[in-house]
């Protein structure tokens, strides 16, 4: 009280303003996010961030669009190396192993402990197929945000014209090849319509090759060890041969590397009758496809099996305590049942929380859009997504070889051998670090 009496009116006013600004100071954090598939996702994510900012006064999130999954990883790591790590990143769900090994991201276990919960309880509401890609060495490092599986999209009109039943899409590789032959239209040597297409660009191609290898009985990578992949195997060779034969033997798929956008464009234009794309493209296809279409499981050879895809929310190291707490609060809000359900309905990704499907909004949506349930049904056959040391480079070792196959520059048998050799070289540092060195 004596101090206040000694202050002049101006000084007192300044002190009150300073105290008020400190009391109401916001914690400002950055959120990096990618848009890896078609659709108006960037605009919707920006809207969600604004909704969060408007819902409270303690935290201001700046949303930064960072391109593809691979680009997002590079930009987030570069920012961290420069001493300005983003607080939260929507990262490809299979990058957690590599990011953890690099020491870039935070374990989320302390945040759970502070809330009086455990990893098991926290993940209890998330689909079991997602747990493996959210954890590393039995610790939570990622919170699933949107997830996907590959799906087969078919042009129902083309099926009927070819004497095929769109209600009975191809279930096996043999049926896929047979249907693709009947759907392909030629004018002499010129192909006017291809029976089948799939993306051949980076990231997408590796994901789809893992799906084909898995559906051929393959394991693709060692889920328990970050230094082992299975490229030079009969199951992967079979998958590579399928792609090669679709292009050059059966001539029902165009040669060359076509990005996902080109595949969906061909589907819309009636230039491709069947395409293999992510369920994350579902809303884009639903909005732009002018003729009837259907959605089906990825055809199998040996078994039904697909990899999980999509992205998880991770938190980078190097932040202040205030930024960490703000980031975790944002993660919790963004991964809530209502937000995940709304994002699923907007994008076509399936919601990672089971509770999202108990809401009236989601039940009504699926009733009106039964195609949204196909990826959910395929979850029964879903397996972890490829995750190793140097994930991107090791994945590209296979993609480079498969692109050579699709371009007609290499045969499948040689491609899988060369992919394995390159991958082993990239994985060598991790293998050396983890090898038992006896005295």
Distance CA 15, CA 19 (A): 6
For residue 223, the number of C-alpha atoms closer than 13 Å in the C-beta half-sphere is 14
User: CA 409, 411, 415: angle at the middle one, nearest 5?
Assistant: 95
DSSP 249: I
Tokens representing 435 are 């090898």
Q: Write down the CATH superfamily of domain 27-148+309-383.
A: Periplasmic binding protein-like II (3.40.190.10)
Closest CA to 37 of 107, 83, 92, 113: 92
Taking the C-alpha atoms of residue 180 and residue 274, their distance in angstroms, rounded to an integer, is 8
- The residue among 150, 297, 272 whose CA lies nearest residue 209 is 150
Q: Report how far residue 327's alpha carbon sits from residue 201's, in angstroms, rounded to the nearest whole number.
A: 33
d(CA 92, CA 192): 36
The helix/strand/coil state of 217 is: coil
Domain 150-306+388-433: which CATH class? Answer: alpha beta
Side-chain-side CA neighbours of 6 within 13 Å: the count stands at 3
Measured CA distances, 82 to 77, 78, 79 (Å): 9, 6, 5
Q: What residues contact 42, with CB distance under 8 A and at least 6 apart? A: 33, 35, 65
pTM of the model: 0.90
Q: What is the pLDDT of residues 382-421, one digit of tens each?
A: 999 999 999 999 999 999 999 999 999 999 999 999 999 9
Angle between helices 234-244 and 391-406 (to 10 degrees): 40
From-to residues of CATH 3.40.190.10 in the chain: 27-148+309-383, 150-306+388-433
What is the token pair recorded at 406?
A: 């699709």
Q: With a cut of 70, list the residues of the chain below it in pLDDT.
A: 1-25, 36-39, 436-439
Per-residue model confidence (pLDDT) at position 42: 85
């Amino acid at each position: 009280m004596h101090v206040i009496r000694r202050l002049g009116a101006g000084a007192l006013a300044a002190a009150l303003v300073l105290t008020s600004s400190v009391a109401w100071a916001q914690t400002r954090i950055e959120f990096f996010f990618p848009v890896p598939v078609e659709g108006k996702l960037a605009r919707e994510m920006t809207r969600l961030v604004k909704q969060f900012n408007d819902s409270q006064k303690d935290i201001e999130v700046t949303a930064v669009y960072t391109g593809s999954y691979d680009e997002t990883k590079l930009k987030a790591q570069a920012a961290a190396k420069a001493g300005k790590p983003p607080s939260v990143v929507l990262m490809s769900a299979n990058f957690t192993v590599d990011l953890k090994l690099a020491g870039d991201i935070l374990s989320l276990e302390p945040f759970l402990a502070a809330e009086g919960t455990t990893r098991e309880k926290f993940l209890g509401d998330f689909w079991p197929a997602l747990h493996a890609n959210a954890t590393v060495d039995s610790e939570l490092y990622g919170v699933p945000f949107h997830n996907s599986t590959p799906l087969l999209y078919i042009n129902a009109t083309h099926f009927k014209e070819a004497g095929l039943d769109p209600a009975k899409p191809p279930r096996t590789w043999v049926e896929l090849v047979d249907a693709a032959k009947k759907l392909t239209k030629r004018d002499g040597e010129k192909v006017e319509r291809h029976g089948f297409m799939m993306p051949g660009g980076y990231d997408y191609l590796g994901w789809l090759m893992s799906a084909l290898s898995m559906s051929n009985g393959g394991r693709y990578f060692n889920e328990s060890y970050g230094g082992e992949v299975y490229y030079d195997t009969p199951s992967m060779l079979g998958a590579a041969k399928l792609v090669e034969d679709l292009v050059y033997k059966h001539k029902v798929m165009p040669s060359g590397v076509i990005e996902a956008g080109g595949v969906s464009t061909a589907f819309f234009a009636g230039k491709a009758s069947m395409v293999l794309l992510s369920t994350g493209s579902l809303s884009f296809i639903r909005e732009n496809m002018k003729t009837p279409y259907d959605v089906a499981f990825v055809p199998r050879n040996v078994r039904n099996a697909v990899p999980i895809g999509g992205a998880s929310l991770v938190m980078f190291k190097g932040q202040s305590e205030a930024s960490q707490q703000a980031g975790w609060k944002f993660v919790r809000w963004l991964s809530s049942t209502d937000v995940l359900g709304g994002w699923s309905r907007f994008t076509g990704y399936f919601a990672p929380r089971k509770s999202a499907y108990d809401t009236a909004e989601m039940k009504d949506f699926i009733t009106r859009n039964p195609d949204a349930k196909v990826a959910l049904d395929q979850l029964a056959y879903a397996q972890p997504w490829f995750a190793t040391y140097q994930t991107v480079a090791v994945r590209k070792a296979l993609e480079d070889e498969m692109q050579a196959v699709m371009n007609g520059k290499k045969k499948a048998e040689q491609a899988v051998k060369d992919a394995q050799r390159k991958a082993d070289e990239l994985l060598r540092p991790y293998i050396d670090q983890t090898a038992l060195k006896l005295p």
